[in-house]
């Protein structure tokens, strides 16, 4: 089977192209997805290929075009709505929470909302406080949604397919730090199983649980730890709602130590839920408290050195890993 080197961005684009080609009901809409070619060039070329009805530029009206996506999904289309970045998704949150996530239940199971909402997320490019949010964890709080965060090129390629097969709304978070990442991808790469977290590295001494933009950082930290004789297992959550408890717990039950890495602000981030669950379920397997490395609780500052200090980094992850294996138990 042949393989090609592809970037995360290209993988997302191919997944979109394939979805559009496969199913007439699929269309993409959002700000600058068409003529501009996509803010992060993900949808570049698709307008030429599929035309303006299916690659639909919208006005700056996040609430309306997300709501329109919900409406179109209700009427059995398969809309893919792109919110340029998670930062602007706040303007559409009512439509997501009180609409997309809730209609199936409120209608007693009558109205499905097969909607996929993609958004770029994350900090790290000196875009400052209003353009650097990591709010995936927030969305993972909402019943009725599936929340996914591809961290690898293969997942960027495969997750959209699976998301489009979901009869319920799926939020897909693309970390801006990953767009340029490249990897080999088999030519027939396709749908991936969204129900399971993935072991990205095996190790006996501790489990690092992470997702999205923190996967490469966690893997780098694991390498650094390995150089010091500490073998970290790395679990990539992939789906943030619902969480795959089994994979997490199975790993931690083996390593007896868990470190959760999350680009969200520490208090109330997804890391808290993961930590709470681990101790709830396998408290007596733990040799040490579940530790966390998250973003500092500060609106992300512009200055480079401050932004770097505010976010999880391979160094801070490795340091927390070392402290964890040194902890009593």
Partner 1 sequence: MPERAAVPAAPDVRQVGRETCLALLTDMLRVRRLEERCAQLYGEQKIRGFLHLAIGEEAVAAGVMPHLRADDNVVATYREHGHALLRGVSMNAIMAEMYGRVEGCSRGRGGSMHLFDRATRFYGGNAIVGGGLALAAGLALADRLAPRPGVVTACFFGEGAVAEGAFHEAMNLAALWQLPVLFVCENNLYAMGTALSRSQSRIDLTAKAAAYGMPSANVNGMNVLAVHDAAGQAVAQVRERSQPLFLELHTYRFRAHSMFDPELYRERAEVEEWKKQDPIPRLAAELRARGAFDDAAEARLEADVAQEIADAVAFAEVGTLEPVEDLLRFVTSERTPR
Ligand X SMILES: Cc1ncc(C[n+]2csc(CCOP(=O)(O)OP(=O)(O)O)c2C)c(N)n1
Instruction: State the catalytic residues.
Output: 62, 131
- In the region spanning residues 95 to 154, those forming contacts with partner 1, defined by CB under 8 A, are 95, 98-99, 103-112, 125-131, 143-144, 146
Residue of 64, 68, 142, 253 that binds a copy of itself (CB under 8 A) = 142
Q: Which long-range contacts (CB under 8 A, 24 or more apart) does 42-47 make?
A: 42/9, 42/12, 42/13, 42/16, 42/82, 42/174, 42/179, 43/13, 43/16, 43/82, 44/13, 45/13, 46/13, 46/16, 46/17, 46/20
- Shortest Å distance, C-beta 182 to a copy of itself: 33
Structure tokens given for 247: 């994979």
289 to 308, contacts with a copy of itself by CB under 8 A? 289-292, 297-299, 301
- 22 vs 18, 42, 193, 249, CA distance in Å? 6, 18, 19, 37
The residues in 157-216 that bind partner 1, with binding defined as CB under 8 A, are 167-168
Contact in structure between 9 and 38 (CB atoms under 8 Å): no
Is residue 282 within 8 A of residue 251, CB to CB? The reply is no
Site mask for ligand X (CB under 6 A), range 26-45, x = bound:
-----x--------------
**Which is nearer to ligand X, 60 or 303 (by Cβ)?**
60
Please state, in angstroms and as integers, the Cα–Cα distance from residue 120 to each residue in 247, 282, 329, following that order: 26, 34, 40
- Where do we find the tokens 């353009």? 131
Which one among 40, 88, 179, 211 touches ligand X, defined by CB under 6 A?
88
Phi and psi at 273, nearest 5°, equal: -65, -45
Binders of a copy of itself among 215-244, rule CB under 8 A?
Answer: 241-243
Residues 252-311, interacting with partner 1 (CB under 8 A): 296-299, 301-306, 309-310
Question: What is the binding site for ligand X (CB under 6 A)?
Answer: 31, 60, 84, 88, 91
Question: What is the binding site for a copy of itself (CB under 8 A)?
Answer: 87, 90-91, 93-94, 97-98, 101-102, 105-106, 128-130, 133, 137-138, 140-144, 241-243, 264-265, 267-273, 275-276, 279-281, 283-284, 286, 288-292, 297-299, 301, 328
């Amino acid at each position: 089977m042949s393989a090609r080197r592809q970037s995360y961005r290209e993988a997302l684009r191919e997944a979109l192209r394939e979805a559009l080609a496969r199913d007439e009901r699929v269309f993409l809409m959002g700000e600058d997805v068409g003529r501009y070619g996509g803010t992060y060039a993900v949808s570049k070329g698709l307008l030429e290929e599929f035309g303006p009805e299916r690659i639909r530029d919208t006005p700056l009206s996040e609430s309306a075009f997300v709501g329109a996506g919900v409406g179109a999904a209700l009427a059995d289309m398969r809309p893919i709505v792109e919110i340029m970045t998670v930062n602007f998704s706040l303007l559409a949150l009512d439509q997501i929470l009180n609409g997309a996530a809730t209609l199936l239940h409120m209608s007693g199971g009558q109205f499905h909302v097969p909607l996929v909402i993609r958004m770029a997320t994350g900090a790290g490019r000196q875009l400052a406080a209003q353009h650097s949010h990591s709010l995936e964890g927030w969305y993972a709080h909402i019943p009725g949604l599936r929340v996914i965060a591809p961290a690898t090129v293969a997942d960027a390629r495969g997750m959209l397919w699976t998301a489009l097969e979901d009869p319920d709304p799926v939020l897909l978070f693309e970390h801006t730090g990953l767009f340029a990442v490249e990897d080999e991808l088999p030519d027939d790469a396709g749908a991936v199983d969204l129900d399971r977290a993935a072991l990205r590295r095996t190790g006996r001494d501790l489990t690092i649980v992470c997702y999205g933009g923190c996967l490469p950082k966690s893997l780098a930290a694991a390498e650094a730890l390995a150089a010091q004789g500490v073998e970290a297992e790395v679990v990539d959550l992939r789906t943030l709602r619902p969480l795959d408890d089994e994979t997490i717990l199975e790993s931690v039950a083996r390593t007896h130590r868990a470190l959760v890495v999350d680009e969200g602000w520490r208090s109330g981030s997804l890391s808290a839920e993961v930590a709470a669950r681990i101790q709830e379920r396998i408290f007596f397997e733990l040799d040490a408290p579940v530790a966390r490395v998250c973003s500092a609780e500060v609106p992300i500052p512009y200055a480079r050195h401050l932004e770097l200090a505010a976010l999880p980094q391979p160094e801070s992850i490795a340091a927390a890993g070392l402290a964890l294996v040194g902890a009593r138990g």
